[in-house]
């Protein structure tokens, strides 16, 4: 049902093409049905009576009918293919747009791998079925019924052959399909399995090597691969059986027609021409039955795929995106008002009643142990997630009432896991502002302390970056991401542990340069090293999702136990070193 409604809904724009397919196939099928009977006439009236004039004229008619049949068949397939491909394209586009609109919450629930499969392979399965349906929907039933009628018209005495061979073929092919169907479903699962193992291994290849996990991982892959192979071999075995069996039925039917028909020709009950026509009709019917069964065979797989696609399409983003209504914040005052936030499925919220204000022109630092909730807190500002309670505001406007474009123009996030896209250094830096000049890019790189290494690249700004930025070092990636945020010149800068890969002196130089360019913008820094935030205007100490202290470095050292512990642990490390 999902399959039908999904396809019908997406077929609407292509009504005209589908109508063309109908008409063309109708003509083509009728022409195909007419040919054997013309042939019979040539044999019975033309050849046996030696009437060459009749042979010529009927022959010409046959030629024309044949041409019409070929042209309409080609036309039908052409429009059918166009329609199926167009529906596939629309579905893919819709899945893509939907995925694009979902928030981190829903994306996390689905998982990357399955979203990719749904947007590609699953759509393709549905598209295949649409193609098959359009190609055979009209021709198969007409061919079956028309063929039977025409065959009976040629000779009713042989009709029992139709009633025997058609059900026989139907039962045999049907039985094989019945065996195949669960295997197909299993195969889809196994393909999913192999995809997910392979994906994980390629993405994590460095870790796998570092921990010498290759034997374990290759064993995992071997198992997945063999599982798929086993199913494929079983499918193959059935197919191997299928074609000889079908051929056997066809040949038996042919032999039977010739045998019984031959006797009837002998006794004068039937003419030779009728015999050949009857044979051709019977073969046409059997072929149509076979095609019909094949089509039916594709349905279950497509149904599963359609359900998986519909699953994505019917997911509503938990975040309502407003259509531009309020003015874009121009100052960048960030305020958290009693914010409580938890990840779905978690028992406890990761942030509990958090309130603070980060002012423009000032630097707010966030410190706390791992897992304290710093990243979660930062991610609420560009609205990667929505809090369950409370509000996040910029210039007094809740971020939930800003459009995505507005949010991204106001907030520049350098996330903890820096990510670059395939392309060049320049194309990555221009993410934030497409109109940035090369000078802007160099300036951003200078501030981000990335100028030297980019200058050393063979092609400078045009040096290639691979997907995820795996062809530059961790520290370089981090600096490029900082530069990317700087190019956009947002009102609010968020640095989530962005200086961790820098040595202490580079860190200091970066912060100094940053101070110049951020000017009157709001800066929020999550830091591991206390030394890099001692001069912040305000430091928030986060512990287990709660702000347990706020103030300047001096104030906190004096009166905050948690902060003192963090400072002491780091000082002692430095002293030892």
Report the interface residues with Mg ion, using CB under 5 A: 374-375, 416
Which of 274/375 has CB closer to Mg ion? 375
What are the residues facing 413 on neighbouring strands? 494
343 binds ligand UTP, rule: CB under 6 A: yes
- In sequence order, the 6+-apart residues with CB closer than 8 A to the CB of 356 are 335, 336, 364, 540, 547, 550
C-beta separation of 56 from 115 below 8 A: no
What are the residues facing 393 on neighbouring strands? 335, 398
Residue 343: which of Mg ion, ligand UTP, none does it interact with, CB under 5 to 8 A by kind? ligand UTP
Which of 101/416 has CB closer to Mg ion? 416
C-beta separation of 507 from 391 below 8 A: no
Q: How many residues bind ligand UTP (CB under 6 A)?
A: 13
Binding piece for ligand UTP, criterion CB under 6 A, among 38-46, 89-97, 371-379, 563-571: 371-379
58 binds ligand UTP, rule: CB under 6 A: no
* CA nearest neighbour of 310 among 496, 103, 86, 98: 98
151, 288, 350, 454: which one binds ligand UTP (CB under 6 A): 350
Which of 403/528 has CB closer to Mg ion? 528
Binding piece for ligand UTP, criterion CB under 6 A, among 124-132, 150-158, 367-375, 548-556: 367-375
Rounded to the nearest 5°, which phi and psi values hold at 341? Answer: -140, 135
Binding piece for ligand UTP, criterion CB under 6 A, among 47-55, 226-234, 373-381, 455-463: 373-381
C-beta separation of 333 from 359 below 8 A: yes
373, 450, 475, 549: which one binds ligand UTP (CB under 6 A): 373
Please give the residues from 376 up to 435 whose contact with ligand UTP meets the rule CB under 6 A.
376, 416
189 burial type by CB count under 10 A (0-12 exposed, 13-18 middle, 19+ buried): middle
Residue 96: which of ligand UTP, Mg ion, none does it interact with, CB under 5 to 8 A by kind? none
Compute the least distance from the CB of residue 109 to ligand UTP, in Å. Answer: 11
Q: Which residue has the tokens 């459009």?
A: 403
Please give the residues from 465 up to 524 whose contact with ligand UTP meets the rule CB under 6 A.
497
3, 73, 372, 480: which one binds ligand UTP (CB under 6 A): 372
C-beta separation of 355 from 371 below 8 A: no
- In sequence order, the 6+-apart residues with CB closer than 8 A to the CB of 553 are 530, 533, 534, 535, 536, 539
Return the residue nearest ligand UTP (CB atom). Answer: 375
C-beta separation of 469 from 480 below 8 A: yes
135, 140, 284, 375: which one binds ligand UTP (CB under 6 A): 375
Residue 411: which of ligand UTP, Mg ion, none does it interact with, CB under 5 to 8 A by kind? none
Return the residue nearest Mg ion (CB atom). Answer: 375
374 binds ligand UTP, rule: CB under 6 A: yes
CA distance 362 to 524: 9
CA distance 484 to 74: 53
| Binding residues for ligand UTP (CB under 6 A) | 343, 346, 350, 368, 370-376, 416, 497
């Amino acid at each position: 049902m999902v399959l039908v409604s999904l396809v019908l809904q997406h077929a609407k724009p292509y009504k005209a093409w589908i109508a063309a397919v109908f008409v063309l196939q109708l003509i083509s099928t009728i022409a195909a049905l007419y040919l054997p009977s013309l042939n019979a006439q040539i044999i019975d009236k033309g050849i046996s009576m030696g009437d060459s004039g009749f042979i010529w004229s009927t022959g010409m008619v046959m030629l024309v009918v044949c041409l019409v049949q070929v042209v309409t068949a080609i036309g039908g397939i052409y429009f059918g293919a166009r329609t199926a491909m167009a529906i596939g394209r629309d579905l893919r586009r819709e899945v893509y747009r939907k995925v694009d609109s979902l928030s981190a919450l829903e994306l996390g629930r689905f998982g990357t791998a399955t979203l990719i499969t749904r947007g590609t392979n699953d759509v393709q399965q549905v598209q295949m079925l649409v193609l098959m349906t359009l190609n055979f929907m009209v021709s198969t039933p007409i061919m079956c019924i028309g063929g039977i009628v025409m065959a009976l018209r040629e000779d009713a005495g042989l009709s029992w052959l139709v009633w025997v061979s058609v059900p026989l073929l139907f039962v045999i092919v049907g039985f094989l399909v019945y065996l195949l169907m669960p295997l197909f479903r299993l195969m889809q699962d196994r393909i999913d399995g192999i995809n997910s193992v392979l994906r994980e291994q390629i993405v994590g290849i460095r870790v796998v090597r570092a921990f010498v996990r290759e034997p374990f991982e290759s064993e995992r892959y071997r198992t997945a691969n063999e599982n798929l192979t086993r199913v494929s071999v079983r499918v193959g075995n059935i197919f191997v059986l299928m074609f000889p069996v079908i051929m056997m039925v066809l040949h038996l039917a042919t032999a039977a027609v010739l045998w019984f028909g031959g006797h009837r020709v002998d006794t004068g009950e039937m003419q030779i021409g009728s015999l050949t026509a009857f044979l051709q009709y019977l073969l046409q019917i059997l072929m149509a039955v076979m095609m019909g069964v094949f089509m039916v065979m594709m349905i279950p797989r497509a149904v599963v795929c359609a359900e998986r696609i519909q699953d994505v399409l019917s997911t509503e983003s938990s975040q309502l995106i407003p259509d531009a209504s309020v003015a874009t914040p121009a100052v960048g005052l960030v305020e958290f008002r009693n914010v409580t936030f938890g990840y779905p499925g978690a028992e406890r919220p990761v942030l509990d009643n958090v309130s603070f204000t980060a002012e423009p022109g000032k630097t707010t630092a966030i410190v706390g142990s791992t897992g304290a909730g710093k990243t979660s807190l930062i991610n609420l500002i560009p609205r990667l997630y929505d809090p369950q309670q409370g509000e996040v505001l910029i210039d007094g406007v809740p971020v939930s009432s800003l459009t995505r474009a507005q949010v991204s123009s106001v907030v520049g996030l350098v996330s903890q896991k820096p990510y670059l896209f395939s392309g060049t250094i320049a194309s990555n830096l221009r993410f934030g502002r497409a109109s940035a000049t090369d000078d802007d890019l160099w300036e951003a790189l200078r501030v981000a302390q990335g100028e030297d290494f980019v200058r050393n690249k063979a092609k400078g700004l045009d040096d290639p970056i691979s997907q995820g930025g795996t062809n530059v070092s961790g520290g370089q990636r981090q600096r490029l991401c900082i530069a990317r945020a700087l190019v956009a010149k947002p009102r609010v800068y968020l640095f989530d542990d962005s200086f961790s890969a820098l040595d202490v002196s580079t860190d200091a130089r970066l912060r100094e340069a940053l101070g110049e360019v951020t000017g009157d913008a709001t800066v929020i820094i999550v830091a591991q090293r206390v030394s890099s935030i001692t001069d912040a205007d305000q430091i928030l100490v986060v512990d287990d999702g709660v702000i347990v202290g706020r103030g300047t470095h001096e104030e906190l050292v004096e009166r905050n136990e948690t902060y003192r512990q963090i400072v002491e642990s780091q000082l002692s490390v430095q002293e030892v070193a």
